[in-house]
Amino acid sequence: MLSCKDTTHLLSAAQDRKLAWSERMSLEMHLVMCKGCTNFRKQMTFLRTACRRYTAGIQNEDPSRKV
């Protein structure tokens, strides 16, 4: 079974690449049993979504508009 450290590394890697089947299965098994890592995944997802929305908002702004 994965350690919490290994799990957080895989969760981070999953943001950048598709995980292998064995990595996904090990990750999901750990997440079923570990509330801390499950919360970490939720936090990573929230932050990634927030950053994407923020970036999209900046790109859609009118450059002539003054703050």
Q: What is the pLDDT of residues 13-29, one digit of tens each?
A: 999 999 999 999 999 99
**Segments making up each domain of the chain, as ranges:** 4-45
Q: At CA 23, angle to CA 3 and CA 34, rounded to 5?
A: 40
Asked whether 34 and 11 are in contact (CB, 8 A), the reply is no
The CA distance from 48 to 25, in Å, is 23
Structural tokens at position 41: 């995944």
**CB atoms < 10 A from the CB of 58, how many?**
8
Range with the poorest average pLDDT among 5-9, 19-23, 47-51, 62-66: 62-66
Asked whether 41 and 11 are in contact (CB, 8 A), the reply is yes
Asked whether 12 and 44 are in contact (CB, 8 A), the reply is yes
Kindly report the pTM of this predicted structure.
0.78
